[in-house]
Structure formats: structure tokens, C-alpha cells
């Protein structure tokens, strides 16, 4: 589950839902499911994940490539946004709680969201 530290509640929505649905509709169910499965496996057993560091710089030959080529018509900005929205959804569907924020590495802002496991007192 995604948890908002600011509001003290879970999040049950996906931002930019119209764009998310448009991009998702361009993928086959098998492509989308493979992406979700890969993300879930990379998250399992971890405490912290940063969205922009998960897929790596070159998506060629990976389950993430259809995000760029098919769903987002080779637009790298849209591909990064859609990847982030899929990941958001994966965290939202988990049984454990994850919060998130924007952080820096040194003085340099990290491009994506950083997610971290929490144990909220609900």
C-alpha cells in the first residue's frame, strides 16, 4: 500500500490517470503483466527503491522496452512518466506499506520518487 506521511492515510488513486490509461491501452496484457511482475520481484525483500534507478538507462531487450517503443511512441519523457505511474501502481497494490518522497543525492536532486517501507500506526 502507498502511505502518505503528510496525511497519515493510504493512497488509492493513480496520478495522471488519463495519460496512464492511454499509454496502458497501447500495451498488450502480457506486456503490462510482465512489467508489473518484474517490478514486484525487484521490490520484494527491499526497504528502499528509487524509481529512476530501477530500470537502468538502456531498456533494450528488457520487459520495460515496450513502455518506450509501444506505449509512449518512443518519447523518453513520456516513457519515464509512464514507468513511474506503473511503479506507483505496483506499490499501491502491495500488502506492506510504502511511503515516498523527492530527495537529493548530495546536492543533486534525484529525478524519480524514492519509496521506502514504513510501519504506520493506523
Q: pLDDT (tens digit, 9 = 90+) per residue, 28-45? A: 999 999 999 999 999 999
**What does the alpha-carbon distance between residue 40 and residue 42 come to, in Å, rounded to a whole number?**
5
**What does the alpha-carbon distance between residue 8 and residue 55 come to, in Å, rounded to a whole number?**
30
Sequence spans of domains, the chain: 2-118
Confidence label for 19 from pLDDT (cuts 50, 70 and 90):
very high
pTM of the model: 0.93
What phi-psi label fits residue 45: left (phi over 0), alpha (psi between -120 and 50 degrees) or beta?
left
pLDDT at 97 over 80: yes
Amino acid at each position: 500500500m502507498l502511505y502518505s506521511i503528510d496525511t497519515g492515510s493510504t493512497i488509492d488513486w493513480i496520478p495522471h490517470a488519463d495519460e496512464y490509461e492511454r499509454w496502458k491501452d497501447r500495451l498488450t496484457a502480457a506486456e503490462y503483466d510482465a512489467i508489473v511482475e518484474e517490478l514486484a520481484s525487484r521490490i520484494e525483500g527491499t526497504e528502499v527503491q528509487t524509481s529512476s534507478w530501477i530500470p537502468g538507462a538502456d531498456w533494450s531487450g528488457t520487459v520495460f522496452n515496450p513502455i518506450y517503443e509501444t506505449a509512449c511512441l518512443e518519447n523518453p519523457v513520456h516513457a519515464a512518466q509512464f514507468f513511474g505511474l506503473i511503479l506507483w501502481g505496483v506499490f499501491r497494490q502491495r500488502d506492506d506499506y510504502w511511503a515516498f518522497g523527492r530527495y537529493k543525492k548530495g546536492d543533486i536532486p534525484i529525478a524519480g520518487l524514492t519509496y521506502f517501507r514504513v510501519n504506520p500506526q493506523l
